[in-house]
Amino acid sequence: MADVQFGFAKNSELIFTLKGRHLCSSINPTREAHQWASVHQESWKDCDAIIVLGIGCGYHVRALQGISQAQVVAIDPNQEVVAAALRVHPLDLKETEALALDSTSKFEKCLPLEQATRKSYAVLVHEPSAASHPELFTELKDFLLGRRAEGLQWLFRNRGLAAPRLSDFEGDTGVSLKTLDALWRRQISGQENLSPLLQALRELII
């Protein structure tokens, strides 16, 4: 872990930096984590699963576990960060799927993500983690929310539905409200559970 340096916050909680950058509060990580979870509560309060992009030092993931009954899946593109967070919280994160995934192609083969996205779910971005790779985190989030063609197709397949054709996206890899509304109107025969999924995806895009 050449890029990871362990130390202590001012309240004596174990933390680490990545290439000299703090991934959580250097004063009171637990307090900051609970504030973060509360700020995002409107996004996850009615969900059965929460997908967190960015593990950081793990305090915000632990906070979500403590105040939510939802399944929590935490993802980070950096394997060193995942390993370090598990070292900081060897027991507290045992109920969380902490995964090192750095591309959407790996998302497509990830069973915990498949399980989470079959439920009602929220996607939260841990801003300190995303700061060093904002474009990658945006790409990963858009995939999980069905905002890109390949992500929307994956979500449909996860639920046993016929995936939209690429031609449905009019040559654009981004998914718009216009695209979803067109799929809604088509009302594919024999897939009565399609409309609720489209409605959910429409709300996620908004």
Per-residue model confidence as pLDDT tens digits over 115-174: 999 999 999 999 999 998 999 999 999 999 998 889 988 998 888 877 666 566 555 555
Amino acid letter, 7: G
If one compares 187 and 131, the residue with the highest pLDDT of the two is 131
E-strand spans in the chain?
4-8, 14-18, 21-22, 49-53, 71-76, 97-100, 121-125
Enter the pTM of the model: 0.82
| pLDDT at residue number 169 | 57
Q: What is the mean pLDDT of the chain?
A: 85
What single DSSP character describes residue 134? Answer: H
Residue percentage of the chain with pLDDT more than 70: 78
Query: How many other CB atoms are found less than 10 A from the CB of residue 63?
Result: 21
Query: How many other CB atoms are found less than 10 A from the CB of residue 48?
Result: 15
How does pLDDT run across 172-185, given as a tens digit for each residue?
Answer: 555 554 455 555 45
- What's the average model confidence in pLDDT over 99-123? 94
Residue 37 has pLDDT above 80, yes or no: yes
